[in-house]
Amino acid sequence: MRGFRNIILATLIALAGGSCFEQPEFSNIPVIEFESLTYKRVNNVDSLILRISFTDGDGDLGLAEDDQDNTCQIIKRERIGSTNEFEDQICLNNKLYALILDSNKRHILIDKNQSCNFNSLCYNSKFFPTKEIALNTYSFITYKDRRTNPEFASLPSIDKPFNCTNWEITTRNNVADTLFFNLNENHINFEYELLVKNPDNTFTPFDFNRELPSCLSPPIPGGRFQILYSDRPGSPLEGEINYRIGSPALRFILGLKVLKFKVWVRDRALNKSLPVYSNEFSLN
């Protein structure tokens, strides 16, 4: 998002699993604790720095560079009819899909109308569902479909925040078009909500994509940290993650609001930690 910059840094405090040390008994599901929240304003830039600590029993925290755009676990390959061509298939939310990567690395899904019980590990950012336009012929779902086809009338409008989270404006065959997609939350492994306190003392997530003039990148608040330790797979890990949100307009946008952070992380097996919360704070 223009004007906002996110920086994430993960470091190891201790590494167990060598021959000279007794391995600690950490859960294989990441466990995190909120350590501190710091506000700074330097050179007219506001920064919020979140620091959490973590433990992980099997050390599968972090995502590799090649997970950035096009990694999705194929569970099987099926012959297409009686041809010599094959399709890759993945399982998402216990539904089976054929997966196609186009020249723009879009992850295009064709619903096979079958259930499955082994969900694929996918780290790409978006999935593009399709509609069948003829026998075994499929096409993107467009905003025109939403306007003219009752089957797609329930899709969200292109108004904010859905222009950030569900619609991609592109050019196909020299013609502008707007394609529907679903975000993949597993594209990032550090995720947060910025909660705003209401008059009745409840909290509501601040919707960056709705409230700000441009979209978050990625559209889900959070980011990625790299694989922390690959020399000894399966070793328990303990460390810290520092996440910085910076913008010249941060204080102006959040003003007198009473806020707190909700934070969680996800490992490569897609195990999600329980969320942790900061204390309440304001930037006034």
Q: Which of 125, 151, 183 corresponds to the end of one domain? A: 183
- pLDDT (average), residues 255-284: 95
Residue 1 has pLDDT above 50, yes or no: no
Closest CA to 64 of 229, 279, 284: 229
Residue type, position 83, single letter = T
Residue with tokens 């499929």: 138
Q: Contact, 267 vs 10, CB < 8 A?
A: no
pTM of the model: 0.88
Give yes or no: residues 111 and 154 share one domain. Answer: yes
Range of the domain at 96: 66-183
Query: Confidence band (pLDDT; 50, 70, 90) for 42?
Result: confident
| Distance separating alpha carbons of residues 204 and 196, to the nearest angstrom | 5
Q: Is residue 283 part of a domain?
A: no
Q: Contact, 141 vs 179, CB < 8 A?
A: yes
Residue 228: HSE in the Cβ half-sphere, 13 Å Cα cutoff? 30
Q: Contact, 232 vs 58, CB < 8 A?
A: no
Tokens of residue 5, six digits? 């910059």
| Distance separating alpha carbons of residues 136 and 112, to the nearest angstrom | 11
pLDDT of 2: 44
Mean confidence (pLDDT) of the chain: 89
Q: Is residue 282 part of a domain?
A: no
User: Three-state SS for 230?
Assistant: coil
Alpha helix (H) ranges present in the chain? 143-148, 162-165, 208-211, 250-254
Worst-scoring range by mean pLDDT, 157-161, 245-249, 278-282? Answer: 245-249
DSSP state of 280: P
Give yes or no: residues 27 and 90 share one domain. Answer: no
Q: Which of 183, 204, 224 corresponds to the end of one domain? A: 183
Worst-scoring range by mean pLDDT, 149-153, 216-220, 228-232, 248-252? Answer: 228-232
Give yes or no: residues 146 and 106 share one domain. Answer: yes
